[in-house]
Amino acid sequence: MARATRLARAQAAEADHARVNALLAMSYAELRAVLTGDPATAVEWVESAARRGLREAQLRLGRILLERGDQAGALVWFQRAAGQGSAEAMNMVGRANELGWGALADPAAAAAWYRRAAQAGCAWGEYNLANLKFDGRGVALDLEGAVAGYRRASAMGHARAMNLLGRCLEEGWGCAPDPDEAARWYRRSAEAGYFRAQINHASILAQRGLREEADRWFERAAASEA
């Protein structure tokens, strides 16, 4: 190994050690600010914390690598964070298995990870598992189970789940049709900022003759989608 290479590695190791010591001395607020900051400036801190075993940093590093197109590297860190009990990381491992990020697509494995994430309290896990049940991918087709999952995710504030719960109630998919409850869920999802729900909410308002209010929601949906 060339002397310059050895020197560079030693300097990198020393810098990493210094960052780890600094991280250990930080308050929770300071640590959160460092790990959730701009990826361009936070990445070295995130990498040091991830190697130290901090699961929030491992999840963050996985997201950064995914944004950079390194799907295989992202999956490694999602798996490490999931192994430490991170519900969000479990969901991301499921997402990787569903979409083939860094691994062959495996809907059954995705469903298993989404289930673990859901059981750990992750709204995205509930929502993604419900989608697989709705389509019969990786699990048996189960519309009633999908509706139940959308309800649980909606109760946790998941805007997309609220919209799909509204659609199921409107169409009678996996449940008895209930237009009034569907309208309520569309409105809640729309108020949470989801553009598809804003369109659905606006459509119902228009059907009820509330044209001016409907137009305002159509405009909000167009601005959100843009």
The DSSP secondary-structure symbol of 175 reads S
Task: Quickly list DSSP for 12-74.
Answer: HHHHHHHHHHHHHHS-HHHHHHHHTS-HHHHHHHHHHHHHHT-HHHHHHHHHHHHHTT-HHHH
pLDDT tens for residues 44-54? 878 888 998 99
SS3 state at 216: helix
**C-beta contacts of 40-47 below 8 A and 24+ residues apart:** 44/15, 44/19, 45/19, 47/16
Looking at this protein, which amino acid is placed at residue 156? Answer: M
The pTM of this model reads 0.84
Query: Top-level CATH class of 160-226?
Result: mainly alpha
| Lowest-pLDDT choice from 21-30, 58-67, 113-122, 207-216 | 21-30
Mean pLDDT for the stretch of residues 8-35: 58
Tens of pLDDT along 145-164?
A: 999 999 999 999 999 999 99
On whether the CB atoms of residues 89 and 59 are closer than 8 A, the answer is yes
Dist CA 22 CA 24 (whole Å)? 5
Q: Considering the chain, what percentage of its residues have pLDDT values greater than 90?
A: 75
